[in-house]
Structure 1
């Protein structure tokens, strides 16, 4: 009888509702760059995502303030893949509210330890692979000025982002630390390598289809053309100048850490000087 009475007065288990989980995800999805600055990066966006969870798990304002102190720490990662960290901390905060031996330092240690590796994975998969693939397909659909390419990119990218991020959020919440193994384990590495290879092939195809660098340089002796440089290059390797310029841009951005804007300005200078000396200008001959 005493045991039954003891069970009856036990504190009920606190559980984050589906409504709050949905609100937390949407706060991160739409506001991960809230009040973005070089000092805080995604810190305030993270706090906005955790606020509805904290409000539901803790009753008093003092407890809520104390819990929110955890998320004042600096945070920055790739927003799409990094969604799994937000889901994990929601699960950790739920466990903490139910008396699990977790504190703010433990939560921040996990956040700080994951944001760097997940940022690298996200940048390579999302920014370096998925987006170029979608843009390559969109460019092909935009031939002749068709708006289908732009519509395709907007619709497909947003669908992938919404459902992909929602899946990662739920995965982090349900699996906790095991979600990280799914993202960075051996099988995940094999998938990333395969996707990266596909992205490289697509980028190469886009470069060959949409970038055309040709020279108009010819050497003429009277009425006899001694050298037509473009024809000579085409006999050796068709598209050699195009491949050279693409590799040059890649080298400047990856090896010399130049921004895309600087690289574009350099290309403008090269184009101007090339036309000035007759390398690109068909009106000038030597």
Structure 2
């Protein structure tokens, strides 16, 4: 090989785009972590957050190609909406695809990241909302309410710190997993593994909330039942064969209002407040 061939090979190697650095990936991750809700609009929802998140990638690969940079921002500006924390999984997948596009991989088209986002935002929203809004938040709030008995500040502190730590870990794991697996992560998102994980957290959340409801809800009546030469409170007799039956009835009634009657939490609280007030006025509670 001649010196001229060596120089040409060296120039070709230098001209070849490199992969995203850890710093650049961290920038994409952090932008999407903080911007989906703060930059949200009802027209595009998380669209603006996506465009801003991929500016570090554009600065790396399209610094001298304005048209390619514009196409990058345009394809990530349209309407997009999913659960933000677990949505980092899609962010990781798209980062992997956009990296390949920026490096000149002709097997990955510019439409592929858009198609991946469109196909995953719905299923991932269902999974993410079920885990975060339906299980994690109610479970942590239930534990926090138990810690707040007697006016202790531990409850709010526990919720704020624990929630922040958990969602940060979830976002990091999702982003790294999505980036590492690329398009192959799609099968894992909507496959049997995701369903088993959802079922596991559902059972765990139900157990925790049920246990806390039994230990924190107090429902006592003024009804006295003759018991030999003495009288005993109604709840004492009931607890003898079914401990916590009255609190359980209150929980099931609340669940029925929310699930079957589709009432909001505010309406349920109002109904329970009115019922408790009436019960006290008629000297039943």
Relative to the length of structure 2, the TM-score reads 0.82
- Indicate yes or no: 2:177 matched with 1:174: no
- Whether contact under 8 Å (2:220, 2:235) holds in the other structure is yes
Q: Give the structure 2 partner of residue 33 of structure 1.
A: 37
Q: Which runs of 5+ in 2 are unaligned?
A: none
Shift of 1:96: 1.4
Relative to structure 1, the CA distance from residue 230 to residue 138 in structure 2 (aligned partners, 3 Å threshold; closer, same or farther) is closer
**Which of 118, 130, 134 is the aligned partner of 2:136?**
130
- Indicate yes or no: 2:157 matched with 1:151: yes
Q: Give the structure 2 partner of residue 274 of structure 1.
A: 279
Relative to structure 1, the CA distance from residue 151 to residue 225 in structure 2 (aligned partners, 3 Å threshold; closer, same or farther) is same
Any residues of structure 2 matched to 1:108-123 within 5 Å, and which?
108-123=114-129
Q: Give the structure 2 partner of residue 240 of structure 1.
A: 245
Q: What is the alpha-carbon root mean square deviation over aligned residues?
A: 3.1
Q: Distance in 1 between matches of 2:272 and 2:149?
A: 24
Shift of 1:206: 1.1
The more displaced of 41-50 and 81-90 is 41-50
Q: Which consecutive aligned stretches of 4+ in structure 1 deviate over 4 angstroms post-superposition?
A: 1-4, 217-220, 224-236
Relative to structure 1, the CA distance from residue 157 to residue 227 in structure 2 (aligned partners, 3 Å threshold; closer, same or farther) is closer
Q: Give the structure 2 partner of residue 196 of structure 1.
A: 202
- Whether contact under 8 Å (1:211, 1:242) holds in the other structure is yes
- Whether contact under 8 Å (2:235, 2:246) holds in the other structure is no
Relative to structure 1, the CA distance from residue 65 to residue 29 in structure 2 (aligned partners, 3 Å threshold; closer, same or farther) is same
Any residues of structure 2 matched to 1:199-238 within 5 Å, and which?
199-216=205-222, 230=235, 233-234=238-239, 237-238=242-243
- Whether contact under 8 Å (2:221, 2:233) holds in the other structure is no
Q: Distance in 2 between matches of 1:250 and 1:34?
A: 33
Q: Give the structure 1 partner of residue 93 of structure 2.
A: 88
- Indicate yes or no: 2:67 matched with 1:62: yes
Q: Distance in 2 between matches of 1:196 and 1:219?
A: 40
Q: Distance in 2 between matches of 1:39 and 1:271?
A: 44
Shift of 1:234: 4.2
- Indicate yes or no: 2:58 matched with 1:44: no
Q: Count how many residue pairs are aligned between Structure 1 and Structure 2.
A: 277
Q: Distance in 1 between matches of 2:89 and 2:157?
A: 28
Shift of 1:22: 0.8
Q: Give the structure 2 partner of residue 9 of structure 1.
A: 12
The more displaced of 259-268 and 64-73 is 259-268
Any residues of structure 2 matched to 1:247-258 within 5 Å, and which?
247-258=252-263
Shift of 1:212: 1.9
The more displaced of 81-90 and 126-135 is 126-135
Q: Distance in 2 between matches of 1:41 and 1:257?
A: 26
Relative to structure 1, the CA distance from residue 268 to residue 144 in structure 2 (aligned partners, 3 Å threshold; closer, same or farther) is closer
- Whether contact under 8 Å (2:31, 2:52) holds in the other structure is yes
Q: Give the structure 2 partner of residue 265 of structure 1.
A: 270
